[in-house]
Every structure is written in C-alpha cells, then in structure tokens.
Amino acid sequence: MATATQISTSALRRLGVFDALESPSAMDVAAATEALTAMIASWEGMGLSGDVLPIDSRFEQAVVAMLAERLAEEYGKTPGPILQRDAKNGRAAIEAAYIATPEARFDGALLTGVYRYQPESETEHEAAWQALTAYTLRAFVVNNANRYELVTEGTSASSGGPTGTDASITDGTCVWCWRGVTAE
C-alpha cells in the first residue's frame, strides 16, 4: 500500500507541478498530504485513515487522480480531460466498492389496472446462503434469518456465511451488507 507521501507526490506529478526528473518541495508535499488527509477525513465513515491507506491497491491511482483534481485550483492548473475522467471513474469505483446503497423497491401502489407479479413472500427471490459459491453483485441471500445483499462480488467462505448487522461483512472474498431480518 502506498503512503500518504507517495500518493501526494504522485498527484503533484500527475498535475504537472514538477516533471519526472525533479522532486517536489517539502512544502508542496506537505500541502498535498494535508489535502489528502482532508479528502480521506470525508471518508471516515468507511474507516479510511492513517498514513498507509487501508484501501485496495487497485484504487491507489484513483486516489491519486482525485487528489490531483482537488489540488488543481491551488496550483493554478486546469485538470485535463484524462485526469478528470480518471478522477470521475476512480470516485465511482471506490463508491461502488465501499459504499453500500439501500435496496431499491418499486412502489406497487403506482400501478392501477395492470397485472403485476406478486411474490408469495418477501424472500421468494432470495436463496439460502451456500458455501464456496460464486456470487454476483447485488445478489440476496438469507443466513440465520437475516437478509444480506452482495456489495462486492466473490466466492463465499467454506462455512458460516455472513453474520451480523454491518454494512460491510466479509465472507470468503464476498462482502455483504445486512438488509434486515427475514419474515420467516
């Protein structure tokens, strides 16, 4: 994992504050690290803090792009379209991986005089949790009378399954979000 100093230096380089053959000044790195700290502070709800970012290395370049975009005005730079695209895509990828969204439901009262499917139970479209199973994003399972929605694709553990009422429950390589108690 990259340190805050490494990410700050990369963001300054990406923004064009200095070129590849130069080193940034200590003052520039300190200012960029302060901006990074402020950006991460806004993510505290996800537990992201400290000098070594507890974030999957696949998102490090996204954080660099987001920080470079954040620093642009301070350095009198205009972020180019590629930097803007990378920051936007990186933000979306981080949000998709770390921010659980509530389950969307269609209000059946909006339909009048139209046939619509009515499930027999709340959990009809949900299956019982299975060990060593590849689950796709937004799948629903029931385990120990609790409903869970998959927020990070993966393969479930060899036993146990998701437990608890958190928004981020690790199960093998899957990450689940608790969605309530089943009606059963």
Q: What is the DSSP letter of 72?
A: T
| Residue 103 falls inside a structural domain | no
**In a 3-state reduction of DSSP, which class is residue 32?**
helix
How many structural domains does the chain have? 2
| Residue 22 falls inside a structural domain | yes
Give me the chain's average pLDDT, please: 80
Residues 131 and 59 in one domain: no
Report the pLDDT value the prediction gives residue 123, as an integer from 0 to 100. Answer: 44
Instruction: Decide: pTM greater than 0.75.
Output: no
| Residue 127 falls inside a structural domain | yes
| Residue 120 falls inside a structural domain | yes
pLDDT at 183 over 90: no
What CATH number did the domain enclosing 17 receive?
1.10.3230.20
Q: What is the pLDDT of residues 3-18, one digit of tens each?
A: 888 999 999 999 989 8
The CA distances from residue 54 to 47, 108, 166, in Å, are: 8, 42, 18
Residues 10 and 75 in one domain: yes
Residues 54 and 24 in one domain: yes
Range of the domain at 34: 4-98
Residues 83 and 24 in one domain: yes
The interaxial angle of helices 4-15 and 26-41, nearest 10 deg, is: 110
The CA distances from residue 96 to 23, 38, 103, 173, in Å, are: 34, 21, 14, 16
CA distance 42 to 93: 16
